[in-house]
Amino acid sequence: MPQRKPKAVRAKPSSTKAGANQEKGAYVAPPENFPVAAYTSVTGVHTTLLAFTALFLPRTPVSFLTDAFPAARRAAENASGTPRPSALHLLTSRPVRTLAWICAGTFIVQLWWAGWVRNWSLELRRMAQSQGDAAQQAQDKLSRSQEKSQQLKTLWVASISTLAASIAFYILIVLFGAPILSHPLHTYLLGFLVALLTTFTPVYIIGPPSLRSDTKSLVTRLTWIRLFAELSPRTPIERALVYPAAGALFGCWSGAIPIGLDWERPWQAWPLTPAYGAVAGYILGSLAALVVSSVKYLAEADTRLRRADVQQHAKSA
């Protein structure tokens, strides 16, 4: 009589246990990818460059090449018989020239900043897609090549949207009481500066809002509404877009208050105080976004570690 073969015992897959542990919270998933060190250093450089653009770049004289040679500068001052003007005089004597310098420097700084934030956003998207199957990875490679070819188009769309926003801000500033006929160029340069601070980077990263009915346009429009109408950012990238823009608008509005005072100071010339208020508000908003995102990131990491420790003690007991 042949012996009966013992029934093979099927081992339970370890993935089931791992999945159960993940559902219970035993597996400590890494928090959202947040480059704290890189974001901190880039934000510091970004805000420093904006401060330099506002305070030092407008003081650059037309004959700035002679400043590299002190002997030539002293000879020019002795020949003319007039001392070199002070820094405050250079900033306040010609507001149009000051605003033009600030707008030019801000455009270059914002272009660099928007490129860095866009690369950060694309890197997070690639990391999320790399966890998928082979088809998703192939589609990710195709989209990556398309993104490189569309950089110039994205820059063009962001520039056109910024120009359109500058006109809208010009009308809004006039409605808030700016002179209509006496200082049109002053007012437009202020609107252009505010557009550079509030519109260029979000359009470069999210895309311009559109009224079309396709899915991509609908998602983009709802994102704009959530961020800039509801003021509800959810990620560090969104905070880096919303907080500085809100700070720039508030700073521009509050910067107009000193103009109404009858102090008759040179720095009260239109629109110096709103322009510098917008830049200062943008810098404070950028620093606030950095602080809030860092605190949230550290709090989430600490919560995950505490949860893992509690479950480890419960499991050992």
Among residues 204, 190, 203, 216, the alpha carbon closest in space to that of 278 is found at: 190
**pLDDT for the residue numbered 145:** 60
Instruction: Check: CB of residue 120 under 8 Å from CB of residue 204.
Output: no
Q: What percent of the chain shows pLDDT beyond 70?
A: 75
pLDDT in tens, 244-303: 999 999 999 999 999 888 788 889 899 999 999 999 999 999 999 999 999 999 999 888
Among residues 68, 53, 249, 256, the alpha carbon closest in space to that of 168 is found at: 249
Mean pLDDT across the chain: 82
Radius of gyration of the chain (CA): 28
The Cα–Cα gap between 139 and 134 comes to 9
* Mean pLDDT within 124-139: 64
pTM above 0.75, yes or no: yes
- pLDDT above 80 (res 224): yes
* pLDDT tier at 1, thresholds 50, 70, 90: very low
The Cα–Cα gap between 311 and 315 comes to 6
Tokens of 249: 């608008």
- pLDDT above 50 (res 106): yes
